[in-house]
Every structure is written in C-alpha cells, then in structure tokens.
Chain A
Amino acid sequence: MELEVKSVAPPTTFRLMNLQKKMRFKEQAIEGVLFLVGVLTIFITLSIVFVLGNEALLFFEDPEVTLAEFLGSTKWAPAIGEFGIWALVSATLTTSVIALAVAVPLGLSAAIYLSEYASLRVRSILKPILEILAGIPTVVYGYFALMFVTPLLRSVVGNQIGVYNMLSAGLVMGIMILPLMSSMSEDALNAVPNSLREAAYALGSTRFEAALQVVVPAAFSGIGAAIIVGVSRAVGETMIVAIASGATSKFTFNPLEAAETMTAHIARISGGDLSYNSIDYNSLFAIALMLFLVTLVLNLLSQWIVKRFREQYE
C-alpha cells in the first residue's frame, strides 16, 4: 500500500475534534450489499421449497393421484397412473442401508486408527488417500460399480445376481461415503482433550481400551452427526444408483435384485424427452420434495446433535 498523507492541521491551533461516529455512506452501502448477499442464500432455500412445493401441489391436484396412494401404494408405474412412492423408497432404503453398513464401521475404524494410533508419517500417507477417494466424482464410482464390482460379485456369488443390482450400488456407495464418515469422526475424536486419554492410561488401560471406552464415548455426538450426514448423502446419491442399480421401479428389499431409487428415477425420466406440465414431470418434483425434506431434517438433526450433546471440556 502506498502511503498517502493529506494536509494535516498544524498543531499550533488547538481544535476541538468531533469524536462522534460519523455517518459514512459508502461503509453503510457496502454493509447493506453484503447483507443482501447473505440473505440471498435464504432466498435459495425458499425458492427450492417454493418450486418443489408448487409443482408437487400440481401433482397432487391431479385427479389421478391421491396423497393416500402416493404414501400408501407400493407400485410406481406412471404409464398406467400408479404412483406409489414406496416402490422407489424401498430401493433407496436398501441401497442406503448397505452403504451405511459399509461406511459406518469402516469409516469409524479408519478414524480411530488415524486419530489414536497412526504416527505422523503414516497419517501423512493415508489421509491424502482418503481425500482422493472423497474427490472422485460419483459418476466414476458408478462406472466402477457396474464394470468392476458387479462382475466380481457375479463371479463370487453366481448368476442369481443380475447385471444391475442394488448390492453392488450400495457397496460402492459405502466406499464413496467412507471418507466423509472418517474425516467427520476423526475431527470429533481429535476434539477430545488428551487429558482424558492420559487419565485412562494412568489407570492402566491399553490404547484400545482408552480409545473405545473413553475417547469414542466422549466424541459420540460428533460421530452421531457424521452418521446422520452419511445417511443424508446416501439417500441423495444419484449417479451410482442410476448407473448400477437398474432402471425399473420395483418394491423389493432384496439387494440381489435390480430396483430404481428415488434419485435414479428422477435422473432417468428427466434425462429423456419430458413434456412440461405432464403428470410425469410433476411427479418428479413430488419425489424431489420428499428427498429435500428428508435430507433437510437429517442435516438439521445432525447440527442439533452436535450442539446439544457436545461435551464441553475446560
């Protein structure tokens, strides 16, 4: 910065300075603009709610659809006017449960290893690998599921597994969520003060006992939040299931079968030629609204858990 000295009043004349806060219009204007920019983010949420709600309302106003059918039926076949969301929810649930069954134990174990056991050198090698996994686009995971995991499963289990199946999509989704799970849990574990570990060691516990009986319970709120965020990621994940878990909606919880999740259905239908204002088009918004609400509740819950159950040390 270039220094700029403007005329300074000579010290000979003694003047009373006005030390009151001046109104500076430029400053006010800048603050105003920045505030508006911040408020804009609320506007985004509002427009999501409005847009999805509005189109979903059109969907439910249609004489062919009733809310009871939407929430009660297990058949989703827009061509013949059947709109039962459970056919899609079942697949979403199945793939998400598989994904979490992979991601939660592996992610938590990885986090415990990184925060409690790993030396700095080992950490500096393993941590970037997890970061690379986190940075790979989901469409690439989809390719991996269809081209590698599915053939592998088929060669191990046999041909009762279809080319498209929820198992391989769920497993790969678990690998995708693993880095998120482990980095959030690791943050929670690192936040536990060392004095707790040292107290456990002083009582003669092994590193494992200290980790599992002292550190993990102390970090439980953070780990819980990580699991919930993992659930919300699994429910909202699109590309892996769109590629690997099949393109027919079917009410089933059998992971060896092909079934279409909510997200995959939206992607497939909107990828084709879709006429606006058709009932198909509106039904997608009803599904998206459900997705949005579910993930919103999960995210709020996770933030609330962190705030409410955080153990305060010091």
Chain B
Amino acid sequence: MYHYVYPEETELQRFIQARYRKAWIWQNLFLLSLLIAVISLTALLLDIIDGSFGYIAYEFKKDPLTISEKPIEQFTKEELIQVLQANLSRGALNKLNSEMPLEQRSEADLYSLVLERIIQIDTKQTYSLFESLFRRAEIEAEVAEKYPNARLEFRYWLQPEFIVSPQSSKAEFAGVRTAIFGSLWVVLIAMILSMPVGVGAAIYLQEYAQKNFINSVIQTNINNLAGVPSIVYGMLGLAIFVRAFEPLTSGAVFGITDTNGRTILSAGLTMGILVLPLVIINAQEAIKAVPDSIRQAAYGVGATKWQTIWSHVLPNALPGILTGNILAMSRAMGETAPLIIVGASTFISQDPSGPFSKFTALPIQIYQWTSRAQSEFHNIAAAAIVVLLVLLLLLNTTAILLRNRFQRRF
C-alpha cells in the first residue's frame, strides 16, 4: 500500500505560503508586460509630440532689413512683387511666371515666395519640445556660442499652415496638403475596388458556398492572403498595374500622355487588393452574426434566396460590414511599403488632379522626411505623423460610433 506522509502543520503552511508568493510574483510579472505595452505607447506618442514643437536656431541668407525698413509681413502685394523682381534672376522669374504669373498669385503665396527664395531661412539646429522647455538656458548659450548670427525662436512645426501648404524642398515651408490629397485618393480607389468585391465574396462564402473542395480552397486562400506581407502586394502592383497595364493606369488610352504607370490609379488598385482579404473576413463575420431565424422567416413567407439575402441578411449585417470597411480604410491609409514600391513620387508640389496624376501620400512623406539627415525634417516628420494619427483616429472613432449606434443584438 502507498504510504504518504503529509507535511506537518508549520511545514504545510510554509509550503502553501511559498506557492502563494510565487503566484503573486507571476501575477505582477503578467501585469508588468501589459504595463510595458502601455509605457511603449506613451513613449511613442510623447516622442512624436516632442518632435512637433521646439526651438529652432536659424539665420537669414539675406537680412530682411537690407531690403526695407518696414517689416515684410506688412508688405502689400505690389511691394512683394517688386521685391521678387528686384532680387531674383531673370530665369527664375520666368520659371515662376510660367507656373502661374506673379500678378495672379495670392498675397500669402507671394510672401512665402519672398521668404523662401530671397530671405532664405537657413536652419542651423532644431531642438525638441522637452529640451526647449527644460534646458532653455543651455540652448540659448549653445546657440550664442556656435551661431552668433542666428536667431532663436520657438516654432510650432504642427500648425494650420503645415496642413494647408503644399510640399516644399525646404522643411520650414513644407506642408502635407499634397500628401493628404494623395492618401485620400488612394484610399478612395482602394475602397471602390475592394468594397463590392469583398462584400460579394463574403456573401458567396457565407450564404451560398456548400462544403466542397473549391470553396474550402477559396476560404483557406483568403486567410492566407491576409497574411501575405504588404511589400509582396507592392511587387504585384509594380509588375501588373505599373508595367503590364501601363497604357491603362497611366491614362494613355484616355489621351493623357505626361505620366508613366506610377499613378494614383496603380497605387489605389494595389491597395485595394491588399485590403481585400481584410474586407472579406470582416464582412463574413458581420454576415455570420445574423441569426438563422431571420433567414428562415424570409423563406417562410416565400422569399427566394437572393431576396432573403438582399432584404433581410444584408440590412442586418450592414453596420458590421461598414465597420469592417472603415477599419480596412485605416489600414490602407497607413500602409507605406506598397506605395514605395508602386512608386509614389517623392517630390510633388501640385495637388493630384485625378486618378492619373503622380502623387505622394502621408506615410511616404513621413518615411522620406524621417530618412533625411537634417533635424528640421525630423520635426516635420513628427508633425506629419500627428496629422496621420488624427486622420486614423477619426476613421476609427467613426467605426466605433457606427458599431455602437446600429449594432443589434439577437
């Protein structure tokens, strides 16, 4: 027979205490890992805010006081044009005039031209927000020593002008308007492609598909497509939309001749294919959530299969489908790699005019600016990230509100 000696009283208590201590330590370790996630998110957001504001030390290539006693902010339009004509070379003037004659430009535009081309801010160094707040005296001393002619100023890199001005090769004047329009166009085209196709495929798989080989291949395949790295979709887009369908995607068949295949249309189609599996899987979930009793009620009053789907299943699944689509949109808005491959142009200062334009997009701008060596570009990259995150936040809030407002529980 087995003979087991149970531990004595104090020993037993010690044993139990040790177990509880171990359990307590592990519980806190589990919690710690969640805290690490929270800390990372906080650090990420703070780092972005940190980059979006701060001191800037800069010099003027040409001191405004040598142009006139009057501060240039108060110049009239005529005076601004005079300054431009007096200081720019004939070639540069002709180039500006051929883009848009000086007389027709707005005063703000002329003012920024004067700043950009004549006075020419030359940024020496930029400082992050926390440095600017807590090490002000040191920064002032450093600037006074290293750049005696420089002015020190607190700059909001993230400001209304940053959002409305087009791209520029100078960080101080660059904005994200062009990139926002580019992103919106790409997402629009992606959704025009993936919404009908994705919802259609989801309806087929949930409502029609019998359990057979071809349908299980389709389902497995969709799950796999969702896991394919985005850069592979980029290569697909490059080979098919940019190269093989170049006459179509460059707009050559529609009589547009000045672009190659690296257009908004190519990028949008690529992005559409990328988010398609996501749209399908989300729509499937939404359709699955509609209870069978609703379908049976429809059949009971003599509806055909399609009538059942169209007027009973889809209306009930619609909030879920829309939520899924919005989440797919925010994925499309943040994806960068496929756009690099398909060839978003790095420098475009004109707003895209249609699907056959060259374009740039917000994540591309962030990537380009982050990769630059000069610190002022890192500041505008941070500001652009804030813009991107706010756009994504708006999309996701819409999705959540939609879900809470229309979701029905069965």
Contacts and interface: CB of A to CB of B under 8 A. Distances in A.
Interface residues of A, number: 85
A196 interface: no
A146 interface: yes
Nearest to B235: A288
A137 to B, nearest CB: 3
B289 interface: no
A138 B367 CA distance: 10
Contact of B341 (A31, A33, A38, A267): A267
A39 B218 contact: yes
Contacts of A305: none
A47 interface: yes
A52 interface: yes
Nearest to A39: B218
Contact of B363 (A137, A292, A295): A137
B26 interface: yes
A113 B337 contact: no
Interface in B1-33: 19-20, 22-23, 26-27, 29-33
B218 A271 contact: no
A76 interface: no
A51 B334 contact: no
Interface stretch (A65-73, A127-135, A251-259): A127-135
B203 A34 contact: yes
B159 interface: no
Contacts of B38: 126, 129
Contacts of A267: 231, 337, 340-341
A288 B334 contact: no
B388 A270 contact: no
Q: Which secondary structure dominates where chain B touches chain A?
A: helix
B26 A237 contact: no
B230 interface: yes
Interface stretch (B41-49, B75-83, B165-173, B348-356): B41-49
Nearest to B208: A31
Contacts of A38: 200-201, 204-205, 209, 215, 218
A195 B249 CA distance: 59
Interface of B: 19-20, 22-23, 26-27, 29-34, 36-38, 40-41, 43-44, 47-48, 51, 197, 200-201, 203-205, 208-209, 214-215, 217-218, 220-225, 227-236, 238-240, 243, 273, 276-277, 280, 304-306, 311, 330, 333-337, 340-341, 343, 346, 363, 366-367, 370-371, 378, 381-382, 385, 388-389, 392, 396
19 contacts: A31-B204, A31-B306, A33-B200, A34-B208, A37-B201, A41-B221, A41-B222, A110-B34, A113-B30, A139-B366, A140-B334, A144-B44, A147-B370, A178-B37, A207-B23, A229-B227, A238-B231, A267-B337, A271-B346
